[in-house]
A and B are shown apart, each in its own frame.
Chain A
Amino acid sequence: MIDISNKTEEDFLILTLGGEVDASSSIHLDKALGKAIEQNHKKILVDCNNLNYISSAGLGVFMSYIEDFQSQNINLVLFGLSDKVKNVFEILGLDQLLKISKNLEEAKSLC
């Protein structure tokens, strides 16, 4: 199960993820990110404080937008990742392609 909520702060769009992102729930994450890009948000922050688990399908969603982020000058920063979740990103090497920060303030400064 996944909970996704979004809010805008200044010119940031903050997506808050909660629960687990697995093969079935990754569809919702895909929709949320797709919508954010469609709405022309250039600064997207993903709050992972309540994210317990992400599967390879979930990582696949982030991965599939990397080119869009680069070509459309979109800054996406993940923050508040638990060690476990962060490790998953790191092992795959996604931490080299996505910006990951500790907290919201740091995430904003990275944008």
Chain B
Amino acid sequence: MLSNKHIVRISVTIAVISWLFLLILDLFILFEVSNNMNVGFHREASAFLLGLFFVALFLFYKIRIEKAESINFIDLLWRVFVTGLLATIVSFTIRFFYFILGSSNLAENTYLINFFYHINLGLISAFIISTLIVWKRLILYQKTKKLIILWQIFEYALLFSILLNFFGIEILGELAYNIIFFLLILLGIILSVNLKWVAYLNFKQKWKSILLIILVILYLIYFFINLRTYSADYGPVIITDLLDNLFVRALFGFILTYCIFSLLVILFNLPTSSVFEQKFEDVINFQRLSQSIQTGKNEEQVLEILLDSSASAVLAGAGWIEIFKHNKENKYLKTDNLSIKAIRRITEAIRKSKIKNLLETEIYSIGNVSKMTSSIKDSKFKSALLVPLIVQKKQIGIMALLKDVNEGFNKEIIDIIRTFANQACISIENFRLLGEAIENERYKEELKIARKVQQSLLPSDLISNTCFEISGFSVSADEVGGDYYDTYQLSDHKFVLVIGDVSGKGTSAAFNMSQMKGVFYSLVQLDLSSKEFLIHANNALSRCLEKTSFITLSIYIVNTRERTIEFSRAGHCPTLYYSGENGTSSFMENKGLGLGILRNDNYKNYVEVNQINYSTGDIMMLYTDGITEARNELNEEFGYQKLKEFLDEHATQDPKLIQENLLETLYKFVGGKSRYDDYSALIIRFK
């Protein structure tokens, strides 16, 4: 298939060549006629060239206009206008030329007359054919299948009329000629009622269209008269008379009909045009409001769009939005023609009107507000409309619209404004929900990091030795707990165990815990006594912890050679000790004070150091208060007594098994795993 570009080139070439040949042939025929020679087949050839010229022009404009991307109606009409203008200017130039020639011999020269006639012929043909294509685009705007078929019939009929010209009016007979002409015009009239494009013109465009169409009509009339003048003045010497051409006549008729139809429809549409435009703008404003959330506008920008849209929708003279700021001065968004002073003046006027309750009470839903508009006594404005703005069942502000006429807001307008306001509020609500969701997500992410940090702070491997078995665990279900335990081997027979609890939850707990771990590893290597360790730890942590934070810690230094345990307690819950010899367990009580509570040198007065000897089969259970404070459905605590009973019962088991059983017992007590679980323990059994 040939591309459009090729068709354009070929059609232009054919049009030019056929026009040139037509000119030459007609001049030749004129020569034959004036010398009384036999014309022969030359007239048929002339008709053929004219037909070819029309078809070439038709193809050219079909591609140039029909395939053009722009569907702007004014642009289309403008093309028609320009083509017509060109043809008119050339035609006037020719007239002017003749005017100068006056009645000289040259003016009477039939060859020159024919030459100029052909120039007119070419330009007028171009004008009417291009106009036909433009009309086609206008008519087929919003096409239906039926309409397309009808148009195709019209086009074929026109093509047929070009073919008919071969035979000439003489052969066809006047009646047949007129019938065909009438049928073509009838088809044209039927097509001319398709004027949907007019509805899409705004007020300004309608005026432009009217102007352009009137000019097109003027062109048509002028061209027609021009051609008629030629026929009347030089009839016999004009070889190809355009007005005899059925195709040209039909086009003149059709174009004129459509012009008149369009003109009338546009004129009648002018008064309602503003209403249509308003509706269209409402829809666009509505879209702007609903899209404002996606385009990353903030709340104030959404409200600005609301005010703009509302003011333009109601053709309101002025308006403002008061945004309620709690504990701060309310913020005003306003139209340009209002001053803050004017707003205060009008607010006072509204306070005296029947919609004053809208200003005075907080509104939770627009639904129960029946009256939103009222007349006001103000020097400039006569009526006011108040629309409360409600987001998440809370009033965030109020919009006021003003008009300089009485009862300026009818029910329909109020409905539109309410819809606008609702849409804006939904946008703002979505905006806030999105913000909250992001905030929530960030908080969750933070907790996740805190949990990771906390887990990484707990030792993955505990010390191991032939003299004891050890097992430790820490469970925190949802929140980040502050439990900490650790072990350290000082020498081949000296081991340190600690367990602690950092006050607070979440990131701050994880943070404090990492400080505790740092302090532990720094101090434990110094091989201090348990009391010295706590004094130093208190000193260090007092400088790091925030005012209300503290850490409880118990430290145990196990000497496997002397089989002794030295221990000190810094406010941590007392360790449970099972004596294999006695067959019962008890809590290792001694004096102590949490780290970071007393942040001065007096701390040493509050800690003790104790020492016990251990024997084979003894068990030491270090734990955190999450275990003793675990609660069941009756809100009872697990408590110290149950813990003691548990250890007594499981004392023969190895630490790993004790650990498993302890967790099982706890879950059984609280009734399954819950998000409040926060258990840690370190169990050591001596051999």
Instruction: Give the interface of A toward B (CB within 8 A).
Output: 23, 30, 56-57, 59-61, 63-64, 66-67, 84, 91-94, 96-97
Question: A30-B548, A64-B548, A94-B593 provided; 7 other pairs, C-beta below 8 A?
Answer: A91-B552, A91-B571, A91-B572, A93-B593, A93-B606, A94-B594, A94-B597
The segment from B62-70, B104-112, B498-506, B665-673 found at the interface with A is B498-506
Chain B residue with Cβ nearest A30: B548
Instruction: For residue A87, give the distance in angstroms from its CB to the closest CB of chain B.
Output: 9
Chain B 539-555 residues near chain A, CB threshold 8 A:
547-550, 552
Contact B593 A96 (CB under 8 A): yes
Q: How many angstroms from the CA of A105 to the CA of B548 in the assembled complex? A: 30
Q: How many angstroms from the CA of A85 to the CA of B87 in the assembled complex? A: 106
Interface check B573, CB cutoff 8 A: yes
Q: A60-B549, A61-B548 are in contact. Are A93 and B597 (CB under 8 A)?
A: yes
Chain B residues positioned under 8 Å from A66 (CB to CB): 597-598
Chain A residue with Cβ nearest B598: A97
Chain B 593-612 residues near chain A, CB threshold 8 A:
593-594, 597-599, 606
Q: How many angstroms from the CA of A93 to the CA of B606 in the assembled complex? A: 8
Chain A residues positioned under 8 Å from B504 (CB to CB): 23, 56-57, 60
Chain B residue with Cβ nearest A56: B503
Chain B residues positioned under 8 Å from A64 (CB to CB): 547-548
Q: List 18 A-B contacts (CB under 8 A).
A: A23-B505, A56-B501, A56-B503, A56-B550, A57-B503, A57-B504, A60-B503, A60-B548, A64-B548, A66-B598, A84-B637, A92-B550, A92-B571, A93-B591, A93-B593, A94-B594, A97-B593, A97-B606
Interface check B472, CB cutoff 8 A: no
Contact A91 B550 (CB under 8 A): no
Chain B residue with Cβ nearest A91: B573
Interface check B617, CB cutoff 8 A: no
Q: What range describes how many residues of B lie at the interface? A: 20 to 34
Instruction: For residue B125, give the distance in angstroms from its CB to the closest CB of chain A.
Output: 90
Interface check B574, CB cutoff 8 A: yes
Interface check B592, CB cutoff 8 A: yes
Contact B571 A93 (CB under 8 A): yes
Chain B residues positioned under 8 Å from A56 (CB to CB): 501, 503-504, 550, 552
| Contact for A93 among B547, B549, B594, B637, CB less than 8 A | B594
Per-residue CB contact flags for chain B residues 598-642 toward chain A (1 = under 8 Å, else 0) read 110000001000000000000000000000000000000100000
Q: A23-B505, A56-B503, A57-B504 are in contact. Are A92 and B548 (CB under 8 A)?
A: no
Instruction: Give the interface of B toward A (CB within 8 A).
Output: 501, 503-505, 547-550, 552, 570-574, 591-594, 597-599, 606, 637
Chain B residue with Cβ nearest A96: B606
Instruction: For residue B77, give the distance in angstroms from its CB to the closest CB of chain A.
Output: 73
| Contact for B550 among A23, A63, A96, CB less than 8 A | A63
| Contact for A63 among B570, B572, B591, B597, CB less than 8 A | B597
Chain B residues positioned under 8 Å from A84 (CB to CB): 637
Chain B residues positioned under 8 Å from A96 (CB to CB): 591, 593, 606
Contact B574 A92 (CB under 8 A): no
Chain B residues positioned under 8 Å from A91 (CB to CB): 552, 571-574
Q: How many angstroms from the CA of A91 to the CA of B505 in the assembled complex? A: 20
Chain B residues positioned under 8 Å from A59 (CB to CB): 503, 550
Interface centre among A23, A64, A92 (most CB of B within 10 A): A92
Q: How many angstroms from the CA of A93 to the CA of B505 in the assembled complex? A: 21
Contact B597 A97 (CB under 8 A): yes
Chain B residue with Cβ nearest A23: B505
Chain A residues positioned under 8 Å from B594 (CB to CB): 63, 92-94
Q: Report, nearest first, the 3 A-B pairs whose CB atoms are least far apart.
A: A93-B593, A60-B548, A92-B571
Chain A residue with Cβ nearest B551: A56
Chain A residues positioned under 8 Å from B550 (CB to CB): 56, 59-60, 63, 92
Instruction: For residue B261, give the distance in angstroms from its CB to the closest CB of chain A.
Output: 78
Instruction: For residue A54, give the distance in angstroms from its CB to the closest CB of chain B.
Output: 11
Q: How many angstroms from the CA of A84 to the CA of B505 in the assembled complex? A: 22
Chain A residue with Cβ nearest B599: A67
Chain A residue with Cβ nearest B545: A60
Chain A residue with Cβ nearest B570: A93
Chain B residues positioned under 8 Å from A94 (CB to CB): 571, 593-594, 597
Instruction: For residue B443, give the distance in angstroms from its CB to the closest CB of chain A.
Output: 15
